Amino acid sequence: MADEKRLVSLQTRVDALKSVASDERPVKQIKKAVGASQKGVVGNEKVIKIDAESPNGPVALDIGTSHIIAAQNKRDRIETIKELNAFFTVPNAKYAKDILNRKDVIYYERGNQYYITGYFAENFANLFNTNTRRPMKEGLLSPNEGEALSVIQAIVNTLIQKPKKFGEILCFVVPGEPLGGTGSVLYHQLMIKRFIGSLGYSPLSINEGMAIVVSELSEDDFTGIGISMGGGMCNICLSYLSFPVITYSIQMAGDYIDSMVGGSLGEPATRIKAIKEEELDLTREPKDRVMTALHIFYDEVIFRLLESLQRVLNSRDNIPKIKTPIPIVLSGATAMPNGCKGKFENMLKNVSLPVEISTVHLAKDLLNTPAKGALIVAMREAG
């Protein structure tokens, strides 16, 4: 009986793998797979043909809970390339290898498993109706995944190679210390730094909120508050004249919203994530229970973010006396839905801060802003 079950489960996996390779899929599956694989193909084509090259000049890396983004300056333009920071494993059987190779899926072999990485992992997880595995949790290397660093290394290697010139500067983004958090930013930072050094770069790091300030607030003399609302964390930095006076993070953001909504409604978090990314508009009255729950947990994340800002800024004695009001810049993909900034502004009215806020504005490129800020620092450092 147990063997029968195993066989059925193996057969399901074989069928799903075949369906990745075949066009004879049910229409619904094809749509899903095309959506995900188009993203994968973008990453993949760039990886193989264009961007997985040895950089000539400084580089930036933003290794986030959801995405890994590399940035370079090419022909006086900042170019970014991204992958999903996720993986999916399948047994290393010959049938799997043939299919993966035929479809140019990005994977590597370890033990008796194939590790499928990036957007392809999401594609496979959808086909198996399950979740991808994630090397990072709440902004830091996941304590639950022993292979976390090797997966991140594999993904980074698909985005950038060793530099043309040994010792080229690479500036990577690090999170702020979580308020009441359990994970260690220092461990996370040093592990990433070692890996980057082993590729032949001179590693340099910048706080994620500060990278937003560098990218967006040059006209304000780099004075203001940079906030990244990401997947695993919200990162906050108060910068005064380019000095990061206060940096910290809270370990709740997009993933928290997905899992709380999913847990409340008995739905998988990945399904909620897909609905959130495609349909959520926070300016509209919610029409069903998923939208209602998404509104509730967006409110909660923004409330907790602002409440932390009030608590931290009012409890520190190193806040500079800033005479003029300062801006807040929101970035990170969780700030994307229409109405997120409006909700933030409304709730900000109920918060008492020791500095006056002039405006709240969204970064120009919500997903890539920290990587762009890190590249600016790398370029300056390189002279």
Ligand X SMILES: Nc1ncnc2c1ncn2[C@@H]1O[C@H](COP(=O)(O)OP(=O)(O)OP(=O)(O)O)[C@@H](O)[C@H]1O
Shortest distance, CB of residue 83 to ligand X, whole angstroms?
A: 11
DSSP per-residue codes, 126-170: HHTTSPPB-SEETTEE-TT-TTHHHHHHHHHHHH--S-SSTTEEE
**Strands in 164-284 per DSSP E:** 168-174, 201-207, 224-229, 234-240, 243-250
Task: Mark residues 121-160: x for contact with ligand X by CB under 6 A, - for none.
Answer: ------------------x---------------------
Residue whose C-alpha is closest to residue 47's, from 156, 158, 164, 153: 158
Task: Mark residues 88-127: x for contact with ligand X by CB under 6 A, - for none.
Answer: ----------------------------------------
- Per CB under 6 A, the list member of 37, 44, 66, 247 interacting with ligand X is 66
Residue whose C-alpha is closest to residue 270's, from 251, 257, 282: 257
Cα–Cα distance measured from residue 362 to residue 369, given in angstroms and rounded to the nearest whole number: 10
Residue 340, CA atoms < 13 Å, CB-side half-sphere: 28
Shortest distance, CB of residue 98 to Mg ion, whole angstroms?
A: 37
Task: Mark residues 251-290: x for contact with ligand X by CB under 6 A, - for none.
Answer: --xxx-----------------x--xx--x----------
Residue whose C-alpha is closest to residue 123's, from 23, 40, 64: 40
Shortest distance, CB of residue 303 to Mg ion, whole angstroms?
A: 20
In the region spanning residues 217 to 256, those forming contacts with ligand X, defined by CB under 6 A, are 228, 230-233, 253-255
Shortest distance, CB of residue 272 to Mg ion, whole angstroms?
A: 20
Cα–Cα distance measured from residue 194 to residue 365, given in angstroms and rounded to the nearest whole number: 29
Shortest distance, CB of residue 115 to ligand X, whole angstroms?
A: 19
| Contact window for ligand X (CB under 6 A) among 5-13, 65-73, 108-116, 237-245 | 65-73
- Per CB under 6 A, the list member of 142, 337, 344, 355 interacting with ligand X is 337
Contact 211, 374 (CB under 8 A): yes
Cα–Cα distance measured from residue 306 to residue 300, given in angstroms and rounded to the nearest whole number: 10
Q: Which two tokens stand for residue 278?
A: 């495609």
Task: Mark residues 227-266: x for contact with Mg ion by CB under 5 A, - for none.
Answer: ---x------------------------------------
Is 90 or 204 the residue whose CB approaches Mg ion more closely?
A: 204
Shortest distance, CB of residue 233 to Mg ion, whole angstroms?
A: 7
| Burial of 103 per CB tally in 10 Å (0-12, 13-18, 19+) | middle
Shortest distance, CB of residue 294 to Mg ion, whole angstroms?
A: 20
Determine the 3-state secondary structure of 30 from DSSP: helix
Is 224 or 232 the residue whose CB approaches ligand X more closely?
A: 232
Site of tokens 């409890």 = 315
- Per CB under 6 A, the list member of 86, 171, 225, 333 interacting with ligand X is 333
- Per CB under 5 A, the list member of 64, 118, 163, 254 interacting with Mg ion is 64
Residue whose C-alpha is closest to residue 91's, from 107, 113, 69: 113
Task: Return the H-helix or E-strand segment holding 43.
Answer: helix 27-45
**Hey, how many other C-beta atoms are within 10 angstroms of the C-beta on 28?**
8
Cα–Cα distance measured from residue 177 to residue 11, given in angstroms and rounded to the nearest whole number: 46
User: Which residue type is seen at 5?
Assistant: K
Greatest distance between any 2 Cα atoms in the chain: 75
Is 44 or 65 the residue whose CB approaches ligand X more closely?
A: 65
- Contacted entry of Mg ion, ligand X, none for residue 67, CB cut-off 5 to 8 Å set by kind: ligand X
Shortest distance, CB of residue 366 to ligand X, whole angstroms?
A: 7
Q: Is 295 in the site for ligand X (CB under 6 A)?
A: no
Is 17 or 66 the residue whose CB approaches ligand X more closely?
A: 66
In the region spanning residues 362 to 381, those forming contacts with ligand X, defined by CB under 6 A, are 367
Task: Return the H-helix or E-strand segment holding 341.
Answer: helix 340-348
Residues contributing to the site for ligand X (CB under 6 A):
64-67, 139, 228, 230-233, 253-255, 273, 276-277, 280, 332-334, 336-337, 367
- Kindly list the residues in this chain that would bind Mg ion in the complex (CB under 5 A): 64, 230
